[in-house]
Amino acid sequence: MSHDSIRARLNLYAVLPNLEDVVRDDPQMRALVGAARVTVKFLVAGGPTAWVRFAGGVCTVGRGSGPGANGAGAAGDPAASSAASSASSSATPSVILSFTSASHLNRMFEGTGSPIPLWGFNHLGFLRHEFTELSDRMAYYLAPTDELLAHPGYLAMNTQLTLNTAAFAVPVLLAHDPDCIPLRHGLTQGAVVIKVLPDGPAVSLVCGASGVLPVKGALSHPSALVLLRDLPTANAFLSGKLDTFAAAVTGEVQLWGRIGMVDTLALVLDRVPKYLTPAAEPAATA
């Protein structure tokens, strides 16, 4: 699979789910889309599909045809969005945005291209205004500077979104990245939890015969556990600025359980910057 194709899957399946968190945790964004009841489908020719649903002030992101339909996703991508199984509504999206290729989709996420609307022209105003403003806010949180990270609220959101992106990138890379495919045998039955102390955020990766399922939040009784001392430590860890070995000695990073699974996961995560640098850039719509 080409670099553009893998990157497109990461944009849809690892970056786009962060919209859920921005709507939930940013009061301004929650108010912005609070009255919306819209489902936007992203359709790439010969490639992946995903949907974003707004209803009751809640944003839900998933893969496949849409909420209420069979959202299993593209072959070879075993993981589904954490929200896909809980959403229920008509399978018909309000808006369908089409892309002629993976590179076309990636250009939209870079802010240099626009989708082709196929359906729902009466919702284009929502796409141009509310959805674009929400996407821009996600871009803001995913483009840190030292000055921004000095603010506790920004640090918390950037760390949370970066952690989400990393977790949801894992199944995509294990399925399609040539350097990661051989690593699948290292993530056997069990779960890996990465948690920021004391109260999160956290992500879990459930590993099994069918692949790896990323979940927002910490599952109980994991096979392996990575504990990060605090938000600044977690942010440095996720951005590659932390010497993990030294941090393990000082206790900034604590590893428990099946360390081999953690080592394998680290090798996969090292590949994320190859496709998403500096972190991720969200969609800018029509």
Report the domain count for the chain: 2
Q: What is the pLDDT of residue 67?
A: 65
For residue range 226-272, list pLDDT tens digits in order: 999 999 999 999 988 888 888 888 999 999 999 999 999 999 999 99
Asked, for residue 71, whether it belongs to a domain, the answer is yes
Asked, for residue 140, whether it belongs to a domain, the answer is yes
Q: What is the pLDDT of residue 91?
A: 53
* CATH number of the domain residue 29 falls in: 3.30.1050
Which of 144, 174, 209 corresponds to the end of one domain? 144
Q: What is the mean pLDDT of residues 274-280?
A: 67
Asked, for residue 12, whether it belongs to a domain, the answer is yes
Asked, for residue 283, whether it belongs to a domain, the answer is no
Asked, for residue 158, whether it belongs to a domain, the answer is no
Q: At what angle do helices 18-25 and 132-141 cross, to 10 degrees?
A: 100
Which of 95, 112, 144 corresponds to the end of one domain? 144
Is pLDDT at 210 greater than 90 in this prediction? no
Do 81 and 61 contact (CB within 8 A), yes or no? yes
Is pLDDT at 278 greater than 70 in this prediction? no
Q: Do 124 and 40 fall within a single domain?
A: yes
Quick one: what percent of the chain has pLDDT higher than 70?
87
Q: pTM for the whole thing?
A: 0.86
Q: Do 135 and 203 fall within a single domain?
A: no
Is pLDDT at 281 greater than 60 in this prediction? no
SS3 at position 40: strand
Q: Which two tokens stand for residue 56?
A: 């009751």
Is pLDDT at 117 greater than 90 in this prediction? no
Which of 112, 144, 176 corresponds to the end of one domain? 144
Q: What is the mean pLDDT of residues 218-233?
A: 95
Q: Do 64 and 119 fall within a single domain?
A: yes
Is pLDDT at 114 greater than 70 in this prediction? yes
| Sequence-ordered list of residues with C-beta below 8 angstroms from that of 176, at least 6 positions apart, any chain | 1, 5, 6, 9, 76, 77
For residue range 30-68, list pLDDT tens digits in order: 999 999 999 999 999 999 999 999 999 999 999 876 665
The whole-angstrom separation of Cα 126 and Cα 137 is 15
Residue-level length of the chain: 286
Q: Do 178 and 139 fall within a single domain?
A: no
Q: Do 11 and 138 fall within a single domain?
A: yes
Q: Which two tokens stand for residue 6?
A: 């893998």
* CATH number of the domain residue 173 falls in: 3.30.1050.10
Show the DSSP H helices in the chain as ranges. 3-10, 18-25, 27-32, 102-110, 124-126, 132-141, 146-149, 152-176, 231-238, 244-250, 259-269, 272-275
Is pLDDT at 7 greater than 50 in this prediction? yes
Could you give the angle at the alpha carbon of 203 between the alpha carbons of 281 and 193, nearest 5°? 140
Q: Do 222 and 90 fall within a single domain?
A: no
The whole-angstrom separation of Cα 257 and Cα 247 is 17
Q: Do 95 and 13 fall within a single domain?
A: yes
Is pLDDT at 82 greater than 70 in this prediction? no
More confident residue, 77 or 208: 208
Q: Which domain holds residue 74?
A: 3-144
Asked, for residue 129, whether it belongs to a domain, the answer is yes
Asked, for residue 266, whether it belongs to a domain, the answer is yes
Confidence of residue 90 (pLDDT cuts 50, 70, 90): very low
Q: What is the pLDDT of residue 175?
A: 95
Could you give the angle at the alpha carbon of 204 between the alpha carbons of 66 and 150, nearest 5°? 100
The whole-chain average pLDDT of the chain stands at 87
